[in-house]
Amino acid sequence: MTKKNAAMEIENLRKVYSTKKEETIAIKDVSLTIPEGKFVSIVGPSGCGKSTFLHIVGGFIEKSSGKVKVRGKEVQKPGPDRGMMFQESALFPWLNVFDNVAWGLDIQGMPKKEKNEIVERYLKLVRLWDFRNQLPSQLSGGMRQRISLARILAFDPEVLLMDEPFGALDAQTREEMQVELLRIWSESKKSVLFVTHDIEEAVFLSDTVVVFSGRPAVISEIIDIKFPRPRDLNLYKSPEFRDYRNQIWDLLHQEHHKPVQIVSEVVNG
């Protein structure tokens, strides 16, 4: 992935956790470019630092060293240029669907007419405009995640950061949400950095799959997914899909038993 027309650049990102006795590298000098309008997924062994990496990129966890740039501008803290979507919907239970999506725009002091137009646009994009007066508790898990996505898109971020957003959903709803996400992504034309533990999900959704090693997390492999778009669930049945899955599975299997690396000892004295 080249830096030309990059939505986001991550340069030599490192995270070290320190205790009184030792320092442990969680993420070791990871560099990654997210091209404009592309869908990039990260997979890796459990506990390897995928979510930590995404939270650092989002500005929610402080990095030890390295740079994160959005459109060439270095960023340090959370900002509207990066929209973060979590495994749980994090909607306000006392607000209806419309007001949940409008909440951030209200905080910004956006004029009512403009705000209402934006909320309507994105609720229609996620196909939930007819549910605008419902409370989150009245909706399914998949619907709540679509509302969360609409709320993020209403800010018009440069990059969507998605941390296993379908991990809490049942298998059927998860597949339905994958198809919905691709439709919404193709219409919104956003750049996406997506973390998942599900290899098949990564292959189905992505233009590129980045494979992290075990700790310390480094990039083990970058795999371009060559399937044309639009995609549907029949793709799961193809031999080429299984080839990609097996290639990534083999890489993860090789990484699974690597030990955590200790980078220094603090001598008490």
Confidence label for 39 from pLDDT (cuts 50, 70 and 90): very high
How many structural domains does the chain have?
2
pLDDT of 220 higher than 80: yes
**Which of 2-11, 25-34, 82-91, 135-144 has the least mean pLDDT?**
2-11
Residue 70 in domain: yes
Residue 123 in domain: yes
- Of 132, 156, 180, the last residue of a domain is 156
Task: Give Cα separations from 154 to 64, 80, 96, 101, 243 (angstroms).
Answer: 32, 10, 16, 7, 38
Residues in the chain: 269
What span, in angstroms and rounded, lies between the C-alpha atoms of 27 and 21?
19
Rounded percentage of the chain residues whose pLDDT exceeds 70: 93
Residue 268 has a pLDDT of 46
Q: Are residues 105 and 213 in the same domain?
A: no
Residue 241 has a pLDDT of 98
Q: Are residues 205 and 72 in the same domain?
A: yes
Q: Are residues 93 and 73 in the same domain?
A: no
Q: Are residues 63 and 164 in the same domain?
A: yes
Residue at token pair 């298998």: 171
**Which of 131-145, 230-244, 250-264 has the least mean pLDDT?**
250-264
**β-bridge mates for residue 73, sequence order:** 70
Residue 260 in domain: yes
Residue 16 in domain: yes
Which tens digits make up the pLDDT trace of 10-38? 999 999 988 877 888 899 999 999 999 99
Cβ-based neighbours of 217, under 8 Å, separated by 6 or more = 26, 27, 28, 30, 44, 48, 49, 50, 52, 53
Residue 269 has a pLDDT of 40
Q: Are residues 150 and 164 in the same domain?
A: no
Structure tokens at 231: 């995609």
Residue 262 has a pLDDT of 52
pLDDT of 261 higher than 60: no
Q: Are residues 50 and 95 in the same domain?
A: no
Q: Are residues 254 and 183 in the same domain?
A: yes
Q: Are residues 236 and 254 in the same domain?
A: yes
Cβ-based neighbours of 150, under 8 Å, separated by 6 or more = 101, 119, 122, 123, 125, 126, 128
Q: Are residues 167 and 249 in the same domain?
A: yes
CATH assignment of the domain containing 29: 3.40.50.300
**Which of 65-74, 106-115, 224-233, 253-262 has the least mean pLDDT?**
253-262
Rounded percentage of the chain residues whose pLDDT exceeds 90: 81
- Of 156, 183, 201, the last residue of a domain is 156
Residue 122 in domain: yes
pLDDT of 263 higher than 80: no
Residue 215 in domain: yes
Residue 257 has a pLDDT of 58
Let me know: does 178 contact 205? Beta carbons within 8 Å: yes
Residue 215 has a pLDDT of 81
- Of 122, 156, 190, the last residue of a domain is 156
Give me the domain span that covers residue 214: 6-81+159-265
Residue 1 in domain: no
State yes or no: cis peptide before 93, omega within 30 of 0: no
Q: Are residues 170 and 250 in the same domain?
A: yes
Residue 88 has a pLDDT of 84
Q: Are residues 141 and 193 in the same domain?
A: no
Q: What is the mean pLDDT of the chain?
A: 92
